Amino acid sequence: MATRPAWFVENGQVKKKDYDFKWNPGLAPSQKKKNVKALHESIGDKTLEVSTKSDNEFGASLSPFNLTVEGNPMESVYHASKNYVKTGPLTDLKNIHPLKAKRDERHNTSGPFIGFNFNGEDYPFKPRSYFFNYLYYLAVQESILAEDLEKLLDYNFFTDIEFNPNKGVSNQARAIAIVKAIYQKFGELPELTKEEFLDLQNEILRDGVVNHY
C-alpha cells in the first residue's frame, strides 16, 4: 500500500487529502499509470493526473516538462534558476532537456542551496513552494489557451503520481489547484507581479496547507 495526496479547491482555498491505494512497484511507465489509476479509484471523484504519466492529454500538457516559460521547458527554467553558495543561477540549463537540467552535477557540488534567481530577480527559499508555484503560474499563462483553462473546472481533485510527500516539497498538483483557485476568483489568469502572486498564494493557502512554509 501507498499513500499520496490529492489537492482540491474548497471555498477559494486549496486543500489536500491523503488517499491509500495499492502500489504497483517498478519504474516502467505502465506501472506508474497503474498507480495513477489505483489512486484515482481510491479518490472516487473527478480527478486529473497532472504529469507526463497522465492518460489525459490535458493533464499531460500541464506537466512542467511540457509547459514553457519564455519558450523554454518550465522544469528546465526552474533548475536553471537555482542559486547555491558557490554558484548560480545556472542559466545555461534553461534551454536543455528537463532531465538533464534536473540531473546536472552542479546541484550536488555547489554547496548549500540559498534561493532562486529568475531574470535577475531574487526569490527566497521560503515559502518553500513560492517560486515553483509562481513559475508554474507563468508557464500556464504562456502555454495553455484561455479557452482550455475552463477544463480545470471539470475536475475536483488533482494528483501527481511522481510526488512523494516524504521527499519532496513543490509539486504541480498543488500548483494547478492554486491556478484553478485564481481562475475561479477572477474568471481569468491576470498578470501578477511576484509580490501580488505571493499575497494571493498566502490567501489561498492560509488554512495551513502542509509544506507551504
Distance, CA of 76 to CA of 96 (rounded, Å): 7
Distance, CA of 114 to CA of 72 (rounded, Å): 23
- The helix (run of H) or strand (run of E) holding residue 18 is strand 13-21
**Residues sharing a CB contact under 8 Å with residue 148, sequence separation 6 or more, in sequence order:** 58
The three-class DSSP label of residue 137 is helix
Would you state the pLDDT for residue 41? 95
Bridge partners of 82?
116
**Res 12 pLDDT > 80:** yes
Q: Which three cell numbers stand for residue 97?
A: 532537456
Query: Taking all residues of the chain, what is their mean pLDDT, rounded to a whole number?
Result: 93
Closest by CA position to 103, among listed 71, 79, 83: 79
**Res 60 pLDDT > 80:** yes
* Least reliable range by pLDDT among 5-14, 65-74, 121-130, 190-199: 121-130
Distance, CA of 182 to CA of 201 (rounded, Å): 9
Would you state the pLDDT for residue 102? 95
Q: Kindly report, residue by residue over 93-120, the tens digit of the pLDDT.
A: 999 999 999 999 999 999 999 999 999 9
Would you state the pLDDT for residue 212? 44
For residues 143-165, give the mean pLDDT: 95
Distance, CA of 34 to CA of 32 (rounded, Å): 5
pTM of the model: 0.94
Question: Which residue type is seen at 97?
Answer: H
Would you state the pLDDT for residue 213? 36
